[in-house]
Amino acid sequence: MTAAATRTEHDLLGDRDVPADAYWGVHTLRATENFPITGTPISAYPHLVDALAAVKEAAALANEELGLLAPRRPPRSSPPAARYAPASCTTSSSSTSSRAAPAPPPT
């Protein structure tokens, strides 16, 4: 029998194995184990995932303009990052967390 591919992540409570292909980490794993509030994965609301990505991108751009983040290289000239996020970001886990993977760099 072969074991599922995992990666080990560490937080203040210790090490935990997380599925290797998951876009979430040890914090989300612990949250879903300790707080199973709705049982509904966030992937059931793809528009919410897009909105969260847009808010995060807007915050990053504002912080970049304020000089609080290093400028991106190359400079941004592409559509919002949410459009680049792989579809599996919203379907790869049973998590109810909003943690998403970083979008790949624009081409």
Contacts of 93 (CB under 8 A, 6+ apart): 19, 22, 23, 24, 28, 41, 43
Q: Is the pLDDT reported for residue 5 higher than 90?
A: yes
What's the average model confidence in pLDDT over 7-29?
94
Question: Pick the residue with more confidence: 12 or 82?
Answer: 12
Q: How far is CA 21 from CA 5, 25, 38, 100, in A?
A: 8, 10, 24, 13
Question: Pick the residue with more confidence: 29 or 43?
Answer: 29
The pLDDT value recorded for residue 11 is 95
When the pLDDT of each residue in the chain is averaged and rounded to a whole number, the result is 77
